[in-house]
Amino acid sequence: MECDRKTFPVSRGARTWLPFSLLLLLALAGCSDNRAWTSTDPWFHPPAVEPHDSEPIGGGRIENVIPDKELEAEDLLSTVPYVEITSQQAEAFAGFPLIPHPDARSYLMRGVYLSRRTGVFQVYSLGRGDYLVYHECLGSAPSAMKRQALVVQLDKPPKRVFVFCRMNDLPAPARSD
In a domain, residue 25? The reply is no
In a domain, residue 151? The reply is yes
Residue ranges with strand state E in 1-157: 37-39, 56-57, 62-64, 82-85, 105-109, 112-113, 119-127, 130-139, 143-144, 146-147, 150-154
In a domain, residue 99? The reply is yes
What pLDDT shows up at residue 36?
A: 79
The residue range of the domain holding 145 is: 37-169
- Per-residue pLDDT 10s for the chain (177 aa) are 555 545 445 455 544 433 433 333 333 333 334 567 898 999 999 998 777 778 888 778 999 999 999 999 999 999 999 999 999 999 999 999 998 888 899 999 999 999 989 899 999 999 889 999 999 999 888 889 999 999 999 999 999 999 999 998 877 676 665
In a domain, residue 42? The reply is yes
In a domain, residue 11? The reply is no
What pLDDT shows up at residue 54?
A: 83
**Cα–Cα distance measured from residue 33 to residue 12, given in angstroms and rounded to the nearest whole number:** 35
pTM for the model: 0.75
Count how many domains the chain has.
1
**Cα–Cα distance measured from residue 113 to residue 45, given in angstroms and rounded to the nearest whole number:** 12
